[in-house]
Amino acid sequence: MQNLRDRPIRQKITFLIMTITAAVLLLAFAALFYFQAYTLKRHSAHELAVIGELTAHECAAAVRFKDEDAATQILTGLRTMPQIVSARLELLDKQRLAFFGSAREEGEIQGARVTSGVKFNGDRILLAQPVTLSGVREGTLYLLADLHATRSQLLKLYGGIFGLVLLACLLLAFALSGQFLRFVTDPILRLADTARTVADHSDYSVRARKVCNDEVGLLTDAFNQMLAQIQAQDSAVRKAEEKYRLIFENAIEGMFQSTPGGKYLNVNAAFARMYGCDSPEEIITQVSDIAQTTYVDSARREEFKRLIETHGVVELFEYEAYRKDGTKMWLCENARAVRDGTGVILYYEGTVQDVTERKRVEEVERASKAKTEFLSRVSHELRTPLNAIIGFGQLLDRQSPTETQRPRIRHILSAGKHLLGLINEVLDISRIEAGKLHLSVEPVAVAAMLEEALDLMRPLAAERKIELCAEVEMDAAVYVMADRQRFKQVLLNLLTNAVKYTPESGQVAVSYYSNGHNNIRITVSDTGPGIPAEKLGRLFMPFERLGAEQSNVEGTGLGLALSQRLMHAMGGAIGVEFSAPRGSKFWVELPRAKSPLPKAAPHKRNGSGRRENSKAVTRKVLYIEDNFSNLTLIEEMFAERPQFELLTAMQGKVGLDLARQHSPDLILLDLHLPDLDGHEVLRQLKSLDTTRDVPVVVISADATASQIDRLMKAGAMAYLTKPLDVVEFFRVVDQTTVTGGTTGTRQKHSAAVLAINEN
Ligand code: ADP
């Protein structure tokens, strides 16, 4: 049966058809046979009854007269009938008159105890026929027929016919099933073929052909529908796989899977590129111990493993790694541990980024910050003693020195100012190079700016008998994009050089024109000695004086270097058009401003006329400063002004108390105090009712724009940088004490003071 189950479906159905055919035939033949056998039995009984009646009638006389011979003769005649196996004729008293057959059969006849009629016993029929003569019963005739032989013959006949019919039927069924089964099995086999193709090639695009509308047709439909769904899902899965594969392969970030043992299982192209490898396979095959091969510090790998094993994830883990060529890089990694069902780590997976550039920038920024802090400190440290040198020098100069002292004092002042210029320029260059220079680029009127610069230059030019002139008609509508103060600084530097290096009675001229590239070119030319061509290449290098150091013309060699950096920072340029032997022509270029904003006329300084006002009243000034020489300097400066009463405090808290008690007209405030920061002192002054309106002028060696801006925003009236210029100092003091603290004047002071500082 198991064997049959594994046979092809066609054989199974053929076998089934033939078995059913055989069974049906057998049943039919059996029924027919038994019917025939029954009919034979009935017919034989009837025949036996007729024979019995005839024989009984024939032998009636023999029975009356007990004529045995006659009776025997009659019975013997019955032997011709093959089915009658025994006959017995007996008298009424059961005495046998004649008999043929065997003793067993006589016993069977006697044992049956029938006196009349037919009795069936299997294949045997026993007839008891009464023998009558003239209506009187004389005896009984018994006939025993055996149908066994007839029946056997019948069986043989039927068996033979059945065998032949069965064979014919089976052959016919086999032949027909071979033909008709195709209708049933072919669609199933076709379906099976399709299923095999799908299974073998994972090709979900094939479809089974539907050839009928029966159950197999339905099955084909369902199968095709299922294939369509699988195909759709398969294509969705493929697309998703493709998408993730592309993300993996084309990601900018490196992606990896690595074992806790230190091997890479999978990496993407970006990861390989990061390490300088040609392909992911190269790094996968060549790295057998990540800690030793790639980590610069293998202890970091241990740290990474410890973190990921403890927390399951590691974020922003930074470490230094070796590239293939041995160079080092900084990497930043995010990773997670992938575990099996029992919690054992199978592998780590994550992303990694090359942060070498960021690290480098951070390093540069750290260095730049350190440099800025250093500069700020140096600036403060150098300016504080310079303040005393220049300040006391100026005081001595004003106190009628002797003829011997005067040139000495001038030397002190000139050397101090030279040093101050040097410090300012070095700091400016450093600031630009550190990217810390704060510029406020806006439309600036060229004509106004040139006039202002020329005005400032006139005293020096007059001193050196140099003619200063503008070569063009000044057009007030021409604007350039520039930082006003820095632009003026560059112009003044060019003009100062021109005046300085041009021999007496020479000429210095300014001019400007549009150079056709939407730029304005401003030129400064002179009739001086010019600069030899071979030295022009070093013109803008710091500390290069190109031989001027041998002359008696003072300078630092930083002016042009600073000017060039300032021009670049403003988006402009600087250069020389020609030089030597006809003199020099320097130029600066700035982008033209298209829609200039209306600007107030340049602020002109006018320090006169205020002294008279201030002389009329006695005013209290509080100076909060911890440096003794600076305190003494200011005290001595105010000694010239008896109308001012000077109060001093060397600590912030003492200063605050004095301010509350005396309500001074002006507070001069240093920022570096031993107890409180000057900024905090200012904040407290501005928060107290008694001191809120007292003008505060900050005096500090810190000249950084951000610091000035911070203090001005916090409420300072003005900001003066050390070393102090005595004239400017008193101008601010006079202005502040005369005008008090109104907002309008306060703006003016700030502008004026800042202008002084920038110069
Ligand atoms: P300095 O402080 O020496 O003037 P600068 O950077 O301004 O420094 O100028 C650098 C050098 O260029 C000067 O020392 C001088 O030799 C030369 N120089 C600059 N301007 C002129 C000029 N107008 N005529 C001649 N030489 C000049």
CA distance 43 to 35: 12
Q: Is 506 in the pocket of ligand 1 (CB under 6 A)?
A: no
pLDDT band at residue 745 under the 50/70/90 scheme? very low
Max CA separation in the chain (angstroms):
216
pLDDT (tens digit per residue) in 338-376: 999 999 999 999 999 999 999 998 988 888 778 767 877
User: Is 242 a residue whose pLDDT tops 70?
Assistant: yes
The mean pLDDT of 14-38, rounded to a whole number, is: 90
End-to-end CA distance of the chain: 116
pLDDT (tens digit per residue) in 593-629: 865 444 443 433 333 333 333 344 578 899 998 887 7
Q: Which atom of ligand 1 is nearest to the CA of 526?
A: 23
Residue 265: the pLDDT is 95
pLDDT (tens digit per residue) in 382-430: 888 888 888 899 889 888 889 999 888 988 988 888 888 888 888 788 7
CA 559 to ligand 1 centroid distance, Å:
8
Q: Is 146 in the pocket of ligand 1 (CB under 6 A)?
A: no
Residue 1: the pLDDT is 63
Q: Is 81 in the pocket of ligand 1 (CB under 6 A)?
A: no
Using alpha carbons, select from 261, 276, 362, 355 the residue that is nearest to residue 316: 355
Q: Is 83 in the pocket of ligand 1 (CB under 6 A)?
A: no
Best of 460, 493, 541, 545 for a ligand 1 pocket test (most atoms within 8 Å of beta carbon): 545
Using alpha carbons, select from 118, 146, 114, 137 the residue that is nearest to residue 56: 137
CA 457 to ligand 1 centroid distance, Å:
16
Helices (H), 261-355: 269-274, 280-286, 290-293, 298-311
Mean of pLDDT over the chain: 86
Q: Which atom of ligand 1 is nearest to the CA of 524?
A: 23
Using alpha carbons, select from 523, 619, 541 the residue that is nearest to residue 578: 523
Q: Is 738 in the pocket of ligand 1 (CB under 6 A)?
A: no
pLDDT (tens digit per residue) in 440-492: 888 899 998 999 899 888 888 999 999 999 988 877 788 999 998 899 999 99
Residue 250: the pLDDT is 85
Q: Which atom of ligand 1 is nearest to the CA of 549?
A: 14
CA 526 to ligand 1 centroid distance, Å:
12
CA 393 to ligand 1 centroid distance, Å:
28
Which residue CA neighbors atom 13 of ligand 1 most closely? 545
pLDDT (tens digit per residue) in 77-133: 998 888 899 999 999 998 999 999 999 999 999 998 888 999 998 889 999 999 999
**DSSP helix/strand/coil, 589:** strand
CA 432 to ligand 1 centroid distance, Å:
21
Q: Is 564 in the pocket of ligand 1 (CB under 6 A)?
A: no
CA 450 to ligand 1 centroid distance, Å:
20
- Residue 202, classified by CB atoms within 10 Å of its CB into exposed (0-12), middle (13-18) or buried (19+), is exposed
- Residue 337, classified by CB atoms within 10 Å of its CB into exposed (0-12), middle (13-18) or buried (19+), is buried
Q: Is 576 in the pocket of ligand 1 (CB under 6 A)?
A: no
b/e code 405-422 from CB counts within 10 Å (16+ = b):
eeeebeebbeebbebbeb
Q: Which atom of ligand 1 is nearest to the CA of 561?
A: 6
Residue 739: the pLDDT is 53
- The amino acid at residue 147 is L
Q: Residue 466: what are its φ and ψ, rounded to 5°? A: -105, 135
> What sign does the dihedral 308-313-319-325 (CA atoms) show?
positive
More confident residue, 551 or 605: 551
**DSSP helix/strand/coil, 607:** coil
User: Is 190 a residue whose pLDDT tops 90?
Assistant: no
Best of 560, 562, 588 for a ligand 1 pocket test (most atoms within 8 Å of beta carbon): 560
The mean pLDDT of 203-222, rounded to a whole number, is: 88
CA 577 to ligand 1 centroid distance, Å:
15
CA 493 to ligand 1 centroid distance, Å:
9
Q: Is 52 in the pocket of ligand 1 (CB under 6 A)?
A: no
CA 551 to ligand 1 centroid distance, Å:
11
pLDDT band at residue 738 under the 50/70/90 scheme? low
Contacts of 448 (CB under 8 A, 6+ apart): 476, 599, 601, 602
Q: Which atom of ligand 1 is nearest to the CA of 586?
A: 23
Using alpha carbons, select from 627, 621, 668, 665 the residue that is nearest to residue 647: 621
pLDDT band at residue 2 under the 50/70/90 scheme? low
DSSP string, 452-476: HHHHHHHHHHHHTT-EEEESS---T
Q: Residue 624: what are its φ and ψ, rounded to 5°? A: -105, 110
